[in-house]
Chains A and B, each alone.
Chain A
């Protein structure tokens, strides 16, 4: 029986927190991608469709071509979903925020530091 989206997102966040802190951007990216895809494979009831454009009921990790600029933080990369931003710092820190016309004004839904202990927006 597929589980509701809110429950799947909560499980995604739980598993992402449970991973060891990532050491760099690539490791953080892989953690987000594989964790969300695993949760959706197990709990969504919707098969993965790499060509998905419109909502098909499944939740997809950010795409590399969704990258946007982020002023003032040259070591942080921002990736845009319809309603959210995923920020990944070069030290592996991850932050997921509700989208806003000011990218850093959106509510923080998930935050985890990199292996060096620093968070996404730490100095």
Chain B
């Protein structure tokens, strides 16, 4: 049974009143499309072997645009589809943020972050100004101090997607 077969079976089971249709490519190794229409909403899933599932609310995507969200498993694809159709949610392409923007979004000052890490405020300033020069372990410590969980996905030469296990970098809190 292919990934598409798994996906459509699970969607039918979770959304028995939805219209689930597969739009098959002429070349089977190209991207497959599954349209899920439920009441007044529609989600389109795009699956390419070894690239995972792209998910978009049909109303959110412009002509020529790729999928807005990508997940790697059938479970995640089904879960997110059900969520989008049922909760009035939106798909959004995740914007890139600098470390400073992320810190400010969490309403922390450089001083707050410095205290969490046990370093000086000038160290944080330097890191935010030029993160490329910093070690990856340092960036991971900073993200951990911001409460973020870091996930790294690697695309292998045969286009399989794997998640890399990273050490827990979050500082222990009292």
Contact = CB atoms under 8 A, between A and B. Distances in A.
A24 interface: no
B62 interface: yes
A9 B62 contact: yes
B66 A82 contact: yes
Given A68-B24, A101-B19, A55 B46 contact: no
A17 to B, nearest CB: 15
A101 to B, nearest CB: 4
B25 A65 contact: yes
Interface string B10-50: 00000000010101111100110101010000001010100
A83 B27 contact: no
B50 to A, nearest CB: 11
B62 A66 contact: no
A84 B27 CA distance: 19
A23 to B, nearest CB: 24
A82 B25 contact: no
A84 B64 CA distance: 8
Contacts of B25: 65-68, 80
Interface residues of B, number: 30
B44 A83 contact: yes
Contacts of B30: 63, 65-66
A83 B61 contact: yes
Contact of A99 (B44, B62, B66, B67): B44
Contact of B93 (A55, A60, A66, A99): A55
Interface of B: 19, 21, 23-27, 30-31, 33, 35, 37, 44, 46, 48, 51, 54, 56, 58, 61-70, 93
Interface of A: 5-6, 9, 12, 36, 52-63, 65-69, 80-84, 96, 98-101, 103, 109
In the complex, the 3 A-B pairs of residues with the closest C-beta atoms, listed nearest first: A59-B64, A83-B61, A65-B30
27 contacts: A5-B62, A5-B65, A9-B62, A9-B63, A9-B64, A52-B66, A53-B54, A53-B66, A53-B67, A54-B93, A55-B93, A59-B65, A60-B64, A61-B64, A62-B64, A65-B27, A67-B26, A81-B65, A82-B56, A82-B58, A82-B61, A83-B56, A83-B62, A99-B35, A99-B58, A103-B23, A109-B63
